[in-house]
Structure 1
Amino acid sequence: MPHQNILIVEDEKKIVELLRDYLQKAQYKTTFLERGDEVIASVRQNPPDLILLDIMLPGLDGMEVCREIRKFSTVPIIMITARIEEVDRLIGLELGADDYICKPFSPREVVARVKAVLRRVHAEPSGEKIKAGPFILDAKTHQVTIDGRELELTPSEFGLLKVLMTHPARVFSRNELLNLVQGYDFEGYDRTIDTHIKNLRKKIAQQLPNVEIISTVYGVGYKFLVP
């Protein structure tokens, strides 16, 4: 696979240089932008393999950039935030980000997160298509359809649904989903799984209203119900 391109959107030059150096050592290509209002046109013209997106940006903040990108692309997005409030991180995830990293951060941790997300996106497909009621999940094309209508999912949402659909009615704990989908652990991630599940439910409900597909087993985790 050719070297994957990481778009760094950050207005602090020292952080850009730090991320660039570590990512290039890990054999990634990098490009960078320092203004939020430059990102949308750039992503449309030259789609990157992954975006590292700071929240506090001149021109247009990262939250709004993420919202706009999700209107036309499922490119993986990792938010970078100096905000310590958990609600800010969860808002980014609700807008469609795949992950978040808080400043100050270890550049090695950033590289590890980038690798984990890209592994998930480009994982070798295994098995045949997964069919469950009106759902068909195709690992080769990374597509999910409901009664023939495509469900637009981010890489994290796709990974979660794949795990749940592979074992319908089995209850997965948040930690199990974290390890199976994200491939790493860190403090506070339980809420992140909850947010991805919330986004999945919203998207499914647009095509299957008033039908419970992903059920919460309180105190345990989540399971997929075949409609």
Structure 2
Amino acid sequence: MNDKAQALIHVVEDDVNVAGLIIATLERFGYQHAVFPSGGEFLRQLRVQSPDLAILDLGLPDMDGMDVLQQLRKRHRFGLLIATGRVDTHDRVLGLELGADDYVVKPFEPRELIARVRSILRRYQPEPQPADLALRVAHFAGWRFEHASHRLISPEGIEDTLSLAESQLLSAFLERPNQVLSREQLLSGRDVSALDRSIDLRVSRLRKRFEQGGHSGKFIKTVYGAGYLLATPVSWS
């Protein structure tokens, strides 16, 4: 996706007025779009076509938006922006923990929506990499991480596939082990200010990946007031 006009955005929203506002905003800035008034219709469409980004309402008529979010992150990798009228901070934090890239609270200004859409789309654009970098495999604390496929393999050989955000975060740690990394460094210097408030949640979620199966994720350490540190040697092959 090299051009915003090529970006396809799915709008999952049952409120006709809100959906109309989002559509008008997307059209004004040159984005393609498709609208789904229910979670079920959206999930069925994903069997044949995935968008570059989805704008997801949490209050859908047929299922809770959190359920839709959980199903998405198990099977798909594309940008996800929550659009919610819920004022409870817990819901927004939970959405980020479940894998949303950002959220916007209704009512919102069109330019705020577009700013967040652009930020997420930039994050999902593939970065040009030398062939030898893309094919590298990291070995650390008995684990193996395959950079190209985002596969994380446990000491017992159990495979798991990380989300794009988790893969980028782990790669930042593995590139600079035993160094304190600030939140800005963990975001790889990208223009992703919308993610700043959720980097702690992403680190927590990455730790939980390592804790599955009775393992410890304690080698990702919090350095209070400074950032985070991967406290284990790393070798590359």
Matches within 5 A, 1:161-176: 161-176=170-185
Runs of 4+, deviation exceeding 4 Å: 147-150
Cα 1:153–1:107 shift into 2, 3 Å:
farther
Cα 1:24–1:213 shift into 2, 3 Å:
farther
Is the CA contact (8 Å cut-off) linking 2:207 and 2:217 kept in structure 1? no
Q: Does 1:28 align with 2:31?
A: yes
Number of residue pairs matched by the alignment: 222
Matches within 5 A, 1:15-54: 15-54=18-57
Query: CA separation in 2, counterparts of 1:75 and 1:216?
Result: 29
Q: Which residue of 2 aligns with 1:226?
A: 232
CA RMSD of aligned residues (A): 2.5
Q: Which residue of 1 aligns with 2:8?
A: 5
Q: Does 1:144 align with 2:147?
A: no
Query: CA separation in 2, counterparts of 1:41 and 1:211?
Result: 36
Is the CA contact (8 Å cut-off) linking 2:57 and 2:82 kept in structure 1? yes
Query: CA separation in 1, counterparts of 2:76 and 2:32?
Result: 20
Segments of structure 1 that go 5 or more residues without pairing to the other structure are none
Matches within 5 A, 1:72-83: 72-83=75-86
Q: CA deviation at 1:150?
A: 4.4
Matches within 5 A, 1:87-98: 87-98=90-101
- Structure with greater Cα Rg: 2
Q: Does 1:194 align with 2:197?
A: no
